[in-house]
């Protein structure tokens, strides 16, 4: 199985404080890979390195074999990596529908961005159906309930036709039913060939969702493997309950 | 000569306000003859505009009490332009179109005039500025634009030699307001030329000393002036700016006499540096000892001082006299050129007033005979005055036109 | 039939509308420019010089001036990328004042004495340009490209991560705004037939911003309302004579307090609906 | 003689710079804490000048006229805060800026109608009219008053900001509104305090300008206000000492440009310097990075 | 009972909402709120303190608290050490401590207490005139707690005090917290990592997805496998 992303030997520090120390993992094609770990373990830092917001001190990040480290964030996005944020970042002035249109724009030529396009509109409709937000299409996205905003953000990220989708705590603020719906949606996307990297604290959700998991603590990767293995890994349990370094 | 002119002036004003002489005109009883005025009653020159308004209201009353214009009531529609060019144009259009006035007095500032005169030409209506003295503005806007002022260039040409002789000036330095179009034209071009023509050394010819309208601090400029040790200072600025300079000169103890343009004319200048001889040309000042002026001043001063929005110590200015003359002239033109005041004749009436203004009329203003030269500027006598003991004193009388007898009666 | 007074107000309003639009385009990317009078001055002086001294017909002169002004927009916009919010506003304010000072001292265009000699343009010509620019902006508003502009305003970082080159977007907005302001300047010059540096001061820049914010900064149609209001209100308040400017100021504050988003917003026009389907 | 002229020009620049400093401080108190540009400060300064002028002309001694005018200016500033700023606190930073512009119009119109548009002049008498001469260089008592009052007010402001509970409260609100609230600071009250302080300083600047230049009009605020914004930027919008440094720098720069380079270039150089600072060092000369400077407002 | 929370609901902008939270705190207790990130602990804490609008009832010392009155609540003895510590990073350590006593009238007494604070937390004494933003995470956490104590709270809310801290430091912080009980202070503690919290708490409430899913004596919870199973989804 080919890897869509290879994240190798990355060190990242901020003013002397090490946020990531020698972190490596691979994301296989058409897989859901999870990153877990206590707050402040460095999970979001990994996202920020992948999307080009941070420049690590060392290491390499390859997308389908191409080095993407050092590219401008918008180039990395165009290369096929899209993400959601832990604290949702939607465009404050836009309706849900406008989010769907916008996220498809940057990778198309200028002229087609000005002219209406049937393909774009259809894809927008599909995205909204997929994440169950068609009913609120004309509402300003940031005025919607928290859980719905999460879905809009995911729909926006997915509308970009990414090769790799990064989700940062997507079920925070959702109830169990919503979370279950989301799990099925994401697994459906995986089955269609999408690769997903997900950060989430809700272990039950992750156990059911992920194909593979990596565990972070204090900026280091402390474990990696199948969910069932992780679940019983003493080091992981210790980290989670705060028992030990 | 002065005396005879003054006598004529009284007679003239008396004739135009008191005894209506209908020469060839029909009786207009029951009709209204409307004139317009554009004054800067808000903004940085609000006092001018507000004082202008008082003078015009007085004139309106005087004319109507004396029987109006061939029996018709005279009405002056007054608008405020805030000294803003765009508003001046708007008001000119409004006067011409909506109010259907026969002629317009104003606008005041040169910036507004520059923009309004082309519109006056477009609309075919006389527009006569009461303040603008920026060189060449009316000349560029024939045939409808007029100014009841004298171009600064013409005045300076006569004032400087007189001043130089009086104060024995061999070398002078110029300071001017670079942001004010009139002051900078005079300060940067006209005065240097005139100094040269009169054999006076211009000490800051290479690095002209200037400041900007609104500057509070001109200490650096005055220090520089002082360091040049001139016999005299040429101050080309509007009076409100000039005061700042004079105050700074006082602060720095500079005692050189100052000469300037008509822009200096204001009672406010008198308080700025009373010890200093300040010389300027003007066609009018409140203390002028001429009966016509006295009548005007005595009439208008209490009215102005009664206005809530004007200071209790205000005196009529040159511009009040100018705008009073302008509308007086309109009234005389309407009488003598035989306007019909009928809506259908509007264009013809306006042309009559213009032609009357352009012709050699016998109009006598407050300071003497007033005529308009081919370039649209007034030909009238003027006074070279000096600030002394808190009032203006006339040193010399001259005529703005080089032609002999131009100002004679 | 419009009286020439009303026609004059319409012309003034059109020019103000163009000025407001020039700020609007830039502000749509979240950048506040307090120096658009500077671009306006460039357009006014250059186009006047081209028509008067170089004998060029007006329309190409306007196009050339707009292009040159756009280059200045680029020159200003590029370093301005480093600045945000009020700091950017103040840098543009400084630029505007520098342009004004430049023309004050630039003798070939008359310096403080101003520049004249232009041919008068008819009202329809001004309206034509205004309608053209307004239509362009309003059509663009309904494209996905405009969504990108709004996205940069809403959240620049997220916009980048959706794949947008925010640098290019912001620069283009600056250039477009500069070009529109130059058109406004050129029309002003050929409407008034006389220009002087004092016409292009800080108060002019704030007037643009005012018209745009008052009308509603979320859509171009707002600027129409704002410009109309700014032109009409002082005329309507003439009865208050000495206090009209104070009353104008008080009304301004009142409108901002009651409708901080401006008189119009997207909801008013139902523009939030955008285009629903491609066909 | 060249040297004494130079010294005289530097003194001229320092006087001008002192005025800039006070107004720039007034701007930066509001800018640093609330992040808005209060355009009405220019006009509050102008009103302060007129109040001070009127008081002095009606025989009130200077040491009483100064605080009197400052108090009136502070009250006006607080009214603006309550009516024009607070309801718009959550709007974008442009909206409150424009509402302060509305207040500028009101204040300017009020001044024109109250005091007239013609310059108002003051004749100083007695000790205030004294000058000291050192060779060709001269220094007036009023200039010394201007320096002393400016320095005094800067030090007082700095002490207030640095050493008192109110000052710490202001800085806390400036840095983090929520944190300041859980520490018991009432942001609404701090906003009022910031505006009041800003009004006090602008009012003081007005009185000093009136005293020193002794000619004022309702339109003196506009240009000097823009310059003060430049001074604030050059010094660092959030640092008191920045304004104290940048005021004299710009003042002297202006004066020397006029003296040795020609007046025409003056504004070009001042605004050029502001832009250069914005591009090279947006935090201003003394701004420092957000963490290194304890002296932030 | 010093604090009781009934049917607390927060639904506000882009923060994870809470649906229905009920719990109570007795005088002199240390109560821990345990749960994963996003479970609603912080939202609960901020709502109680008066930083967020909420629905439901929060009764503190017999009085209903109105939403959004943080300043008044502090005056009544309810202090929060927020998640991320809420240090005023541009001020010095000493200034931060002074801010703790902002509402106090007895300034002289405050000065002595600040001196006492320096003695108790030596690191703060050493860095008293240093900029607080330059302190390490653990030092900042100590500063934040010390600052909150200077407001003389009756109920101290601590949101994730161990966040981003090394294990040694975490242990030290929890030691400090356990000392508070001796001074008669009531503490409400939100933590992701259960071990330290349960070790010092009397009772604990387990949060998940905006609701309280379990509660009990801290010792029982620590010894049982409920928390581990919930957190690791081992049910």
Q: Where are the domains of chain A?
A: 1-80+162-245, 89-160
Mean pLDDT computed over B345-372: 88
Closest residue to D113, CB basis, from C93, C210, C242: C242
pLDDT > 70 fraction of chain B, expressed in percent and rounded? 92
Confidence band of B8 (pLDDT split at 50, 70, 90): very low
C212 contacts chain D (CB < 8 A): no
Question: Measured between beta carbons, which residues in chain D are less than 8 angstroms from residue E86?
Answer: 176, 178-179, 182
Q: Which of E71, E156, E157, E186 shows the shortest CA–CA distance to D182? A: E71
Q: Which of C8, C121, C207 to mutate to test the interface with B (most CBs of B within 10 A)?
A: C8
Q: For B25-40, how does the pLDDT look when each residue is reduced to its tens digit (9 = 90+)?
A: 578 888 999 999 999 9
In the numeric block, which tokens belong to residue D125? 């008498």
E108 contacts chain A (CB < 8 A): no
Contact (CB<8Å) B224/D258: yes
In the numeric block, which tokens belong to residue D71? 């108090």
Tell me the shortest Cα–Cα distance from E192 to chain D, in angstroms. 22
Per the rule left: phi > 0, alpha: psi between -120 and 50, beta: everything else, C106 is beta
Confidence band of B5 (pLDDT split at 50, 70, 90): very low
Q: Taking a C-beta distance cutoff of 8 angstroms, is the pair B98, B326 a contact?
A: no
Closest residue to B98, CB basis, from C3, C238, C245: C3
Q: For B173-183, how does the pLDDT look when each residue is reduced to its tens digit (9 = 90+)?
A: 999 998 888 89
pLDDT at C272 over 80: no
> What local confidence, expressed as pLDDT, does residue C55 receive?
93
Contact (CB<8Å) B212/D112: no
Contact (CB<8Å) D184/E71: yes
Q: Which residues contact B38 (CB under 8 A, 6 or more apart)?
A: B78, B79, B80, B81, B88, B91, B92, B95, B104, B105, B106, B107, B108, B112, B116
Count of C-beta atoms within a 10 Å radius of residue E230: 21
Q: Taking a C-beta distance cutoff of 8 angstroms, is the pair B171, B230 a contact?
A: yes
pLDDT at B11 over 50: no
E105 contacts chain D (CB < 8 A): no
Question: Which of B88-92, B357-361, C172-176, D80-84 is the least confident region?
Answer: B357-361
Report CA torsion sign: E183, E186, E188, E192. Answer: positive
Topology of the domain covering A1-80+162-245: Rossmann fold (3.40.50)
Nearest residue on chain E to A18, alpha-carbon basis: E164
Q: Radius of gyration over alpha carbons of chain C, in Å?
A: 19
Q: Radius of gyration over alpha carbons of chain B, in Å?
A: 21
> What local confidence, expressed as pLDDT, does residue B233 receive?
95
Q: Which of E10, E13, E36, E194 to mutate to test the interface with A (most CBs of A within 10 A)?
A: E36
| Cα(D217)–Cα(D210) distance, integer angstroms | 10
Q: For C146-158, how does the pLDDT look when each residue is reduced to its tens digit (9 = 90+)?
A: 888 999 999 999 9
Q: Which of B389, B318, B327 shows the shortest CA–CA distance to B353? A: B327
pLDDT at B7 over 50: no
Q: Taking a C-beta distance cutoff of 8 angstroms, is the pair B80, B40 a contact?
A: yes
Question: Measured between beta carbons, which residues in chain C are less than 8 angstroms from residue D278?
Answer: 83, 87, 90-91, 94
Question: Measured between beta carbons, which residues in chain C are less than 8 angstroms from residue D268?
Answer: 98, 101-102, 105
Contact (CB<8Å) E51/D292: no
Mean pLDDT computed over B72-84: 94
Q: What stretches of D175-261 adopt beta strand conformation (E)?
A: 215-216
Q: Which of B179, B213, B206 shows the shortest CA–CA distance to B192? A: B206
In the numeric block, which tokens belong to residue B152? 């600064």
Question: Measured between beta carbons, which residues in chain D are less than 8 angstroms from residue C209?
Answer: 94, 98
Q: Which of E9, E21, E34, E38 to mutate to test the interface with A (most CBs of A within 10 A)?
A: E38
Tell me the shortest Cα–Cα distance from B184 to chain C, in angstroms. 7
Confidence band of C7 (pLDDT split at 50, 70, 90): very high
Nearest residue on chain E to A90, alpha-carbon basis: E14
| Cα(A6)–Cα(D261) distance, integer angstroms | 63
> What local confidence, expressed as pLDDT, does residue B123 receive?
93
E75 contacts chain D (CB < 8 A): yes
Q: Which of B113, B136, B236 shows the shortest CA–CA distance to B180? A: B236
Q: Do chains A and E touch (3 or more CB pairs under 8 A)?
A: yes
Contact (CB<8Å) A202/E163: no
Closest residue to B90, CB basis, from C8, C113, C198: C8
C1 contacts chain B (CB < 8 A): no
Q: Which of C29, C138, C144, C222 to mutate to test the interface with A (most CBs of A within 10 A)?
A: C144
Measuring CA to CA, how many Å separate C152 from each of A70, C142, E165? 22, 16, 36
Mean pLDDT computed over D60-87: 95
Closest residue to C91, CB basis, from D39, D222, D275: D275
Question: Measured between beta carbons, which residues in chain A are less than 8 angstroms from residue E137?
Answer: 17
Mean pLDDT estimate for chain C: 90
| Cα(B351)–Cα(B345) distance, integer angstroms | 10
pLDDT > 70 fraction of chain D, expressed in percent and rounded? 96
Which SS3 state, helix, strand or coil, does residue B32 take? strand
> What local confidence, expressed as pLDDT, does residue A146 receive?
83
Q: What angle do CA B394, B399, B402 make, to 5 degrees?
A: 145
What is the 3 state secondary structure string of D220-233?
A: HHHHHHHHHHHHHH
Closest residue to D294, CB basis, from E74, E86, E92: E92
Q: Taking a C-beta distance cutoff of 8 angstroms, is the pair C201, C84 a contact?
A: no
pLDDT at A164 over 50: yes
Q: Which residue has the tokens 């808005």?
A: D36
Phi, psi angle pair for B83, to nearest 5°: 60, 25
Mean pLDDT computed over C185-192: 96
Tell me the shortest Cα–Cα distance from E73 to chain D, in angstroms. 8
Q: For A18-56, how does the pLDDT look when each residue is reduced to its tens digit (9 = 90+)?
A: 889 999 999 999 999 999 988 778 899 999 999 999 999
Contact (CB<8Å) A121/C160: no
Question: Which of C218-232, D157-171, D256-270 is the least confident region?
Answer: D256-270
Closest residue to A106, CB basis, from C143, C163, C277: C163
Contact (CB<8Å) B220/D254: yes
Contact (CB<8Å) D278/C249: no
Nearest residue on chain D to E147, alpha-carbon basis: D183
pLDDT at A77 over 90: yes
> ipTM of this predicted complex?
0.90
Per the rule left: phi > 0, alpha: psi between -120 and 50, beta: everything else, A228 is alpha
| Cα(B17)–Cα(B59) distance, integer angstroms | 9
Q: What angle do CA A117, A122, A123 make, to 5 degrees?
A: 100
Which SS3 state, helix, strand or coil, does residue D9 take? helix
Q: Which of D31, D41, D87, D105 to mutate to test the interface with C (most CBs of C within 10 A)?
A: D105
B240 contacts chain D (CB < 8 A): yes
Q: For C32-67, how does the pLDDT look when each residue is reduced to its tens digit (9 = 90+)?
A: 999 999 999 999 999 999 999 999 999 999 999 999
Q: What are the residue boundaries of the structural domains of chain E, listed by start?
A: 3-77+154-234, 87-152
In the numeric block, which tokens belong to residue D81? 């805060």
Count of C-beta atoms within a 10 Å radius of residue B257: 19
Closest residue to C213, CB basis, from D83, D98, D105: D98
Q: What angle do CA E192, E194, E198 make, to 5 degrees?
A: 135
Q: Do chains A and C touch (3 or more CB pairs under 8 A)?
A: yes
> What local confidence, expressed as pLDDT, does residue B3 receive?
47
| Cα(A170)–Cα(A186) distance, integer angstroms | 11
Q: Which of A147, D188, D30, D35 shows the shortest CA–CA distance to E68? A: D188
Closest residue to E162, CB basis, from A169, A232, A242: A242
Please spell the DSSP secondary structure of D128-172, one letter per residue. GG-EEEETTEEEEHHHHHHHHHHHHHHHHHHHHHHHSHHHHHHHH
Contact (CB<8Å) C253/D103: yes
Please spell the DSSP secondary structure of chain C, one letter per residue. ---HHHHHHHHHHHHHHHHHHHHHHHHTTT---S-HHHHHHHHHHHHHHHHHTS---HHHHHHHHHHHHHHHHHHHHHHHTT--HHHHHHHHHHHHHHHHHHHHH-GGGTGGG-EE-PPPPPHHHHHHHHHHHHHHHHHHHTSHHHHHHHHHHH-HHHHHHTT--HHHHHHHHHHHHHHHHHHHHHHHHHHHSEE-GGGGSHHHHHHHHHHHHHH-TTSHHHHHHHHHHHHHHHHHGGGGGGGHHHHHHHHHHHHHHH-TT-S--HHHHTGGG------
Select B152-282+384-399's CATH number: 3.40.50.1370, 3.40.50.300, 2.60.40.10, 3.40.50.2300.
3.40.50.2300
> What local confidence, expressed as pLDDT, does residue B308 receive?
83
Question: Measured between beta carbons, which residues in chain A are less than 8 angstroms from residue E208?
Answer: 202
Nearest residue on chain C to D266, alpha-carbon basis: C101
Q: Do chains E and C touch (3 or more CB pairs under 8 A)?
A: no
Measuring CA to CA, how many Å separate B251 from each of B248, B280, D81? 5, 22, 38
Size of interface C-D (CB pairs under 8 A): 123
Q: Taking a C-beta distance cutoff of 8 angstroms, is the pair B398, B287 a contact?
A: no
Tell me the shortest Cα–Cα distance from E111 to chain A, in angstroms. 34
Confidence band of D297 (pLDDT split at 50, 70, 90): very low
Mean pLDDT computed over E203-230: 86
Question: Is E3-77+154-234 CATH 1.10.390.10?
Answer: no
Q: Which of D109, D270, D281 to mutate to test the interface with C (most CBs of C within 10 A)?
A: D109
Question: Is B5-150+288-376 CATH 3.40.50.1980?
Answer: no
Question: Measured between beta carbons, which residues in chain E are less than 8 angstroms from residue A205?
Answer: 233
Question: Measured between beta carbons, which residues in chain E are less than 8 angstroms from residue A204?
Answer: 233, 235
User: Which H/E stretch holds residue E189?
Assistant: strand E186-191
């Amino acid at each position: 199985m080919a890897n869509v992303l290879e994240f190798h030997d990355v060190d990242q520090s901020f003013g002397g404080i090490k946020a990531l120390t020698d972190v490596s993992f691979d994301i296989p094609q058409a897989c859901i890979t999870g990153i877990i770990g206590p707050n402040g373990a460095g999970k979001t830092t990994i996202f920020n390195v992948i999307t080009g917001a941070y420049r690590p001190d060392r290491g390499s990040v390859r997308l389908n074999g191409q080095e993407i480290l050092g590219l401008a964030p918008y180039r990395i996005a165009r290369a096929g990596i899209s993400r959601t944020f832990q604290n949702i970042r939607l465009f404050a002035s836009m309706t849900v529908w406008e989010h769907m249109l916008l996220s498809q724009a940057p990778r198309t030529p200028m002229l087609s961005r000005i002219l209406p396009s049937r393909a774009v509109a259809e894809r927008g409709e599909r995205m909204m159906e997929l994440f169950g937000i068609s009913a609120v299409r004309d509402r300003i996205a940031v005025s919607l309930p928290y859980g719905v905003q999460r879905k809009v953000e995911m729909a926006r990220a997915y509308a970009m036709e990414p090769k790799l989708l990064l989700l940062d705590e997507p079920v925070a603020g959702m109830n169990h039913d919503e979370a279950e719906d989301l799990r099925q949606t994401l697994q459906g996307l995986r089955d269609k060939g999408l690769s997903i990297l997900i950060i989430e604290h809700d272990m039950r959700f992750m156990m059911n969702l992920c194909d593979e998991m990596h565990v972070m603590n204090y900026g280091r990767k402390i474990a990696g493997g199948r969910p069932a293995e992780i679940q019983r890994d003493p080091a992981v349990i210790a980290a989670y309950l705060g028992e030990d370094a | 000569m002065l005396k005879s002119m003054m006598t004529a002036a009284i007679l003239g004003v008396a004739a135009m306000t008191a005894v209506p002489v209908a020469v060839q005109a029909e009786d207009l009883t029951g009709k209204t003859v409307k004139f317009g005025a554009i004054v800067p009653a808000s903004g940085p020159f609000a006092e001018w505009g507000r004082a202008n308004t008082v003078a015009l209201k007085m004139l309106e009353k005087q004319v109507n009490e004396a029987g109006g214009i061939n029996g018709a009531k005279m009405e002056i529609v007054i608008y405020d332009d805030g000294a803003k060019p765009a508003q001046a144009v708007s008001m000119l259009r409004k006067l011409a179109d909506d109010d259907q006035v026969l002629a317009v007095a104003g606008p005041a500032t040169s910036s507004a005039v520059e923009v309004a005169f082309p519109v006056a030409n477009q609309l075919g209506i006389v527009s006569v500025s009461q303040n603008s003295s920026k060189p060449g503005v009316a000349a560029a806007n024939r045939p409808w634009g007029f100014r009841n002022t004298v171009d600064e260039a013409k005045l300076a040409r006569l004032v400087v030699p007189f001043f130089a002789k009086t104060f024995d000036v061999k070398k002078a330095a110029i300071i001017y307001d670079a942001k004010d179009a009139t002051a900078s034209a005079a300060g940067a071009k006209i005065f240097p030329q005139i100094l040269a023509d009169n054999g006076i050394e211009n000490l800051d010819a290479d690095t002209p000393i200037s400041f900007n309208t609104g500057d509070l601090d001109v200490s650096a400029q005055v220090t520089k002036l002082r360091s040049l040790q001139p016999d005299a200072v040429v101050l080309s600025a509007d009076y409100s700016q000039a005061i700042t300079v004079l105050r700074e000169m006082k602060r720095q103890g500079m005692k050189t006499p100052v000469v300037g343009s008509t822009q200096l004319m204001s009672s406010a200048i008198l308080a700025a540096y009373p010890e200093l001889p300040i010389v300027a040309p003007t066609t009018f000042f409140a203390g002028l000892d001429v009966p016509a002026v006295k009548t005007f001043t005595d009439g208008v001063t209490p009215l102005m001082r009664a206005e809530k929005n004007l200071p209790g110590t205000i005196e009529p200015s040159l511009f009040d006299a100018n705008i009073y003359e302008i509308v007086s002239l309109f009234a005389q033109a309407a009488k003598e050129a035989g306007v019909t005041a009928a809506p259908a004749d509007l264009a013809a009436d306006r042309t009559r007033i213009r032609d009357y203004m352009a012709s050699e009329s016998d109009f006598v203003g407050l300071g003497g005979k007033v005529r308009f030269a081919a370039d649209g500027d007034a030909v009238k006598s003027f006074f070279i005055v000096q600030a002394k003991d808190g009032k203006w004193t006339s040193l010399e009388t001259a005529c703005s036109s080089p032609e002999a007898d131009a100002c004679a009666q | 039939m419009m009286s020439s007074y009303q026609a004059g107000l319409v012309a003034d309003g059109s020019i103000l509308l163009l000025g407001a639009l020039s700020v609007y385009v830039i502000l749509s990317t979240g950048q506040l420019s307090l120096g658009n009078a500077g671009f306006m001055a460039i357009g006014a002086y250059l186009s006047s010089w081209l028509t008067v001294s170089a004998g060029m017909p007006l329309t190409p002169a306007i196009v050339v001036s707009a292009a040159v002004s756009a280059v200045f927009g680029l020159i200003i916009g590029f370093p301005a990328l480093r600045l945000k919010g009020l700091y950017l506003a103040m840098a543009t304010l400084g630029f505007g004042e520098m342009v004004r000072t430049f023309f004050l001292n630039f003798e070939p265009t008359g310096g403080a004495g101003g520049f004249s000699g232009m041919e008068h343009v008819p009202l329809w010509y001004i309206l034509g340009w205004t309608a053209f620019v307004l239509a362009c902006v309003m059509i663009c508003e309904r494209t996905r490209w405009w969504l990108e502009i709004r996205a940069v305003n809403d959240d620049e970082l997220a916009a980048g991560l959706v794949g947008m080159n925010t640098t290019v977007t912001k620069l283009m907005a600056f250039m477009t705004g500069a070009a529109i302001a130059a058109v406004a300047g050129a029309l002003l010059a050929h409407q008034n037939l006389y220009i002087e540096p004092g016409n292009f001061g800080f108060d002019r820049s704030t007037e643009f911003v005012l018209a745009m914010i008052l009308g509603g900064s979320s859509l171009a149609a707002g600027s129409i309302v704002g410009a109309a209001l700014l032109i009409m209100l002082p005329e309507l308040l003439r009865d208050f004579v000495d206090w009209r400017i104070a009353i104008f100021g008080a009304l301004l504050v009142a409108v901002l307090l009651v409708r901080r988003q401006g008189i119009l917003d997207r909801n008013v026009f139902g523009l939030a609906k955008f285009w629903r389907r491609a066909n | 003689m060249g040297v004494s002229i130079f010294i005289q020009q530097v003194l001229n620049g320092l006087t001008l710079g002192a005025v800039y400093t006070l107004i720039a401080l007034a701007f930066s108190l509001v800018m640093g804490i609330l992040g808005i540009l209060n355009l009405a400060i220019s006009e509050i300064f102008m009103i302060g000048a007129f109040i001070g002028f009127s008081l002095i002309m009606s025989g009130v001694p200077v040491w009483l006229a100064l605080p009197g005018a400052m108090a009136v200016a502070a009250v006006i500033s607080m009214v603006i805060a309550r009516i024009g700023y607070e309801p718009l606190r959550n709007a974008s930073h442009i909206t409150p800026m424009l509402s302060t512009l509305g207040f500028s119009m009101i204040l300017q119109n009020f001044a024109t109608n109250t005091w007239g548009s013609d310059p108002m002049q003051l004749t100083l008498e007695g000790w205030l009219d004294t000058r000291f001469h050192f060779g060709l260089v001269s220094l007036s008592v009023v200039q010394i008053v201007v320096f002393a009052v400016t320095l005094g007010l800067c030090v007082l402001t700095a002490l207030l900001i640095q050493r008192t509970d109110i000052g710490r409260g202001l800085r806390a609100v400036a840095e983090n509104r929520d944190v300041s609230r859980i520490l018991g600071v009432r942001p609404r009250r701090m906003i009022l305090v910031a505006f009041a302080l800003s009004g006090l300083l602008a009012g003081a600047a007005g009185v000093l300008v009136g005293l020193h230049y002794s000619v004022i009009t309702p339109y003196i605020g506009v240009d000097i206000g823009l310059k003060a914004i430049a001074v604030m930027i050059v010094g660092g919008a959030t640092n008191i000492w920045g304004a104290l440094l940048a005021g004299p720098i710009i003042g002297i720069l202006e004066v020397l440009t006029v003296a040795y380079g020609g007046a025409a270039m003056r504004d070009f150089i001042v605004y050029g310097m502001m832009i250069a600072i914005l591009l090279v060092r947006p935090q201003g000369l003394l701004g420092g990075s957000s963490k290194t400077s304890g002296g932030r407002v | 009972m010093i604090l009781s929370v009934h049917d607390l609901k927060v639904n506000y902008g882009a923060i994870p909402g809470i649906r229905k939270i009920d719990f109570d705190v007795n005088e002199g207790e240390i109560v821990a709120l345990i749960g994963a990130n996003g479970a609603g602990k912080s939202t609960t804490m901020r709502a109680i303190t008066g930083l967020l609008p909420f629905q439901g009832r929060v009764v503190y010392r017999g009085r209903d608290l109105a939403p959004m009155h943080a300043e008044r609540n502090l005056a009544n003895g309810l202090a929060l050490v927020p998640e991320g510590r809420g240090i005023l990073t541009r001020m010095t350590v000493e200034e931060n401590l002074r801010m703790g006593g902002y509402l106090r009238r007895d300034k002289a007494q405050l000065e002595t207490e600040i001196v006492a604070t320096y003695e108790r937390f030596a690191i703060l004494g050493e860095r008293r005139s240093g900029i607080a933003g330059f302190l390490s995470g653990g030092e900042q956490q100590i500063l934040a707690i010390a600052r909150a104590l200077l407001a003389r709270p009756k109920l101290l809310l601590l949101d994730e005090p161990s966040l981003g801290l090394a294990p040694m430091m975490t242990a030290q912080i929890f030691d400090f917290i356990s000392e508070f009980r001796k001074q008669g202070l009531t503490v409400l503690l939100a933590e992701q990592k259960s071990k330290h919290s349960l070790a010092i708490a009397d009772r604990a409430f387990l949060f998940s997805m905006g609701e309280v899913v379990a509660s009990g004596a801290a010792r029982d919870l620590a010894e049982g496998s409920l928390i581990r199973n919930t957190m690791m989804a081992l049910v």
